[in-house]
Every structure is written in structure tokens, then in C-alpha cells.
């Protein structure tokens, strides 16, 4: 299969072909997801919770994400590999660049950072220096202490307006992709309609350009609380390959997310 690239993801978005993305933390799952046709593999800082048992993503270090990124890169053949920049590693644009270089050198093709307008300069700084950036708006788990918990975002007119304008600014600053987490489905559609870059939703409705799930949620192995947007794709399947393929198919045919997964 052909390598997934920023141009190929843009072409999928333009053609209305849904993009499937999953988190991935090791080489064996990377190979499996790759052969099931998952276009984008995210080394999420969710690894702190699902792999290491932390209560939040805040303890995750750059070295940990780099370690898992290298493993995923060795296992996958054609997927786009996106690595999360951990909490505290992109407070200035210079620090963001130095830290992003380490993730790119570990094998990532793109880095992901959480936040709005304050990151516009950082997105531009990295993009100008040949590091593609995925932005992340809505519920941004690294801000859990400021948000007061893992809550749906963008429910008020003011916060929805803010999110739309943040999205436009980040795209204008060069963001190659945008993850939207836990926002009303209508807002997910709005943002997708306004932008030309792919939007990837997790609890952001069916109208995003693609969808992402944490692999442990897809497989039903995460012992913690299950968010509304989660679906266990092992239900009715007997192999992990079949579950991942069912997820890819459900994203492609628009049957996931269903109304019960949306806000
Ligand atoms: O860390 C993660 O897994 C993520 C996804 C939920 C988008 O950021
Ligand atoms: Na993350």
C-alpha cells in the first residue's frame, strides 16, 4: 500500500473519504493497524493512562513518547505517524521545536499539541521549520486542572465562537490537521466546514473528516470510566484484526460515531 501523506489526507478530506485514526503504542499493534488500513497512528500521551496506569496524561515525559514512537515507526509501513507532545514540552516555540525534533527523529511524521490561539506562533514556527503540526481543540486533557475535569467543551455560544476562531487561526498558522475532542456534533460540523484541513473527531460528531479512538477503548480493555464517545469494537468479533477492521469500516461508511456517541 502507498504511504499516507499530508497531501493524501487532504485529498481524502476533499473527496469526502473518511480518515481512520487510532492511538498506537507498540510495533505489533502498529503492524496490525497498518494492515487493517488505519491511515493515521497516534502515539497519544494517553499512554500515561492506558499503558502506565496514571490518573491523567500530565506525568508523561518526552522520552516516553519518543520510546513508543520509535516502536510504532518500526512496526508500521504506510500509516502517517503522529506523536503527542507531552504536557510542558511546548511552553515556548523554541522549546516546542527542540522537543518536536526528538519526536520526528524517533520516527514521527507530525506532532500534536493541545490548545488554541496561544499556540498560533508555535504552529507557524514548527511548520516553517518542516515539522508538520496537528492541533487539538475542545477537551484538551493536559488542561484538566483548569477545565475542572473531563467535560464537554464548546457548549456555550461564547466558547463555541472561541473554538471556531481558534481553529481558523491555527489552520492559517499552518496546522496540517486538527483533532476535536468532546464538543457538540454541530460545532464539529461547523469547524470542519470552515476549514480546508482534515478534522479528526473524538466525541465531535459524524461530520468531521475522520475519527480517532484510543486503542484500549476500541478493544474494551481500559479498566477506567468509559466516555460517551467510546465504542468497544470487540463486541461480536473474535480477533483484534476483525475489531480494528470493523472500526475502519464503520468510520468509512459513517456508521461510527452513532448518535449515542455524540454530544
Ligand atoms: O492522547 C490521546 O490518545 C489523544 C487522542 C484521544 C486524540 O490525544
Ligand atoms: Na493526547
Three-state secondary-structure class, residue 143: helix
CA of 10 to the centre of ligand 1 (A): 21
Q: What are phi and psi of 83, to 5 degrees?
A: -115, 135
pLDDT score, position 1 = 75
CA of 113 to the centre of ligand 1 (A): 10
The residue whose CA has the least distance to atom 3 of ligand 1 is 44
The pTM of this model reads: 0.98
How many whole angstroms separate alpha carbon 43 and alpha carbon 203? 19
CA of 83 to the centre of ligand 1 (A): 10
Ligand located closest to 199 CA: 1
Helix orientation angle between 62-75 and 93-106, rounded to the nearest 10 degrees: 30
Q: Is 46 annotated as a binding residue?
A: yes
Fold adopted by 6-261: TIM Barrel (3.20.20)
How does pLDDT run across 39-61, given as a tens digit for each residue?
A: 999 999 999 999 999 999 999 99
Is 158 part of the annotated catalytic residue set? no
CA dihedral 241, 54, 96, 25 (to 10 degrees): -20
How many whole angstroms separate alpha carbon 93 and alpha carbon 81? 22
Stated length of the chain: 263
pLDDT score, position 224 = 82
Asked if residues 19 and 210 have their Cβ atoms less than 8 Å apart, the reply is yes
How does pLDDT run across 153-176, given as a tens digit for each residue?
A: 999 999 999 999 999 999 999 999
Element (H, E) at 83: strand 80-84
pLDDT score, position 134 = 99
Q: State the ipTM, two decimals.
A: 0.99
**Catalytic residue (choose from 94, 158, 172, 181):** 181
Q: Is 34 annotated as a binding residue?
A: no
- Which residues of the chain carry a pLDDT beneath 50? none
Amino acid at each position: 500500500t502507498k504511504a499516507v501523506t499530508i497531501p493524501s489526507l487532504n485529498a481524502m478530506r476533499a473527496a469526502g473519504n473518511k480518515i481512520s485514526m487510532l492511538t498506537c503504542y507498540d510495533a505489533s499493534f502498529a503492524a496490525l493497524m497498518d494492515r487493517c488500513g488505519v491511515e493515521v497512528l497516534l502515539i497519544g500521551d494517553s499512554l500515561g493512562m492506558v499503558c502506565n496506569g496514571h490518573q491523567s496524561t500530565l506525568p508523561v515525559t518526552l522520552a516516553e513518547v519518543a520510546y513508543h514512537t520509535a516502536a510504532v515507526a518500526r512496526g508500521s509501513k504506510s500509516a502517517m505517524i503522529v506523536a503527542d507532545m507531552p504536557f510542558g514540552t511546548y511552553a515556548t516555540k523554541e522549546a516546542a521545536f527542540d522537543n518536536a525534533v526528538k519526536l520526528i527523529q524517533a520516527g514521527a511524521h507530525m506532532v500534536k499539541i493541545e490548545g488554541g490561539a496561544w499556540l498560533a506562533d508555535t504552529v507557524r514556527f514548527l511548520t516553517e521549520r518542516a515539522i508538520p503540526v496537528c492541533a487539538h481543540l475542545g477537551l484538551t486533557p493536559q488542561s484538566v486542572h483548569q477545565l475542572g475535569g473531563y467535560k464537554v467543551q464548546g457548549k456555550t455560544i461564547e466558547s463555541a465562537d472561541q473554538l471556531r476562531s481558534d481553529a481558523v487561526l491555527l489552520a492559517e498558522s499552518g496546522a496540517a490537521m486538527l483533532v476535536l475532542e468532546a464538543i457538540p456534533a454541530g460545532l464539529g460540523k461547523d469547524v470542519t466546514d470552515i476549514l480546508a484541513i482534515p478534522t479528526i473527531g473524538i466525541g465531535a460528531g459524524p461530520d468531521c473528516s475522520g475519527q480517532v479512538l484510543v486503542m484500549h477503548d476500541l478493544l474494551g480493555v481500559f479498566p477506567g470510566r468509559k466516555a460517551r464517545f467510546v465504542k468497544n469494537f470487540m463486541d461480536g468479533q473474535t480477533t483484534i484484526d476483525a475489531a480494528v477492521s470493523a472500526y475502519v469500516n464503520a468510520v468509512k461508511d459513517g456508521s461510527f460515531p452513532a448518535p449515542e456517541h455524540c454530544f
